[in-house]
Amino acid sequence: MSNYKTIEELIAAADGIEKTLSPQEQNVIGYHRKNLGLGAKAEDGRPITAFMLAPEILEGPNKGKVVSVPGFVPGYNNNKPMSEDQAREYWMPEINKGYWPVYDKATVGRRSMEVHTIMDADIHRPSK
């Protein structure tokens, strides 16, 4: 539950963050929600729906920035999370189309934590 004392606080924070999402960040949440009911689990036993990674962009106008892409793709890589290199290659067509969020290295950690707050809250919601 991160830094929140109650599930209600977590959900309220997530609802506030959700109002600030870019279209690309909304794509991340949509991907996560699409995979919520699969029942896949990470090694620590927590549900795994996206396993977001932030590989560096190696060429083009965003070279040197990072892109937030799913490292978990149901049915791919034996349902195990991919490496950053695998994820960059797998998602390259969508990355090139601007589907996933791109961040400066200085902001990716903070914003990824905020987006993940929504994912954490979704696990505790009856439905969204």
Q: What is the mean pLDDT of the chain?
A: 92
DSSP string, 8-22: HHHHHHHHHHHTT--
For residue range 40-76, list pLDDT tens digits in order. 888 888 889 999 999 999 999 999 999 999 999 998 8
In a 10 Å sphere around its CB, with 0-12 CB exposed, 13-18 middle and 19+ buried, how is residue 100 labelled?
A: buried
Strand-pairing partners, residue 69, are 53
| Rounded-to-integer distance, Cα 73 and Cα 64, Å | 25
Any idea where the domains of the chain sit in the sequence?
7-121
Confidence of residue 127 (pLDDT cuts 50, 70, 90): low
pLDDT at 125 over 90: no
Checking phi first, is residue 70 left (phi over 0); if not, alpha (psi -120 to 50) or beta? beta
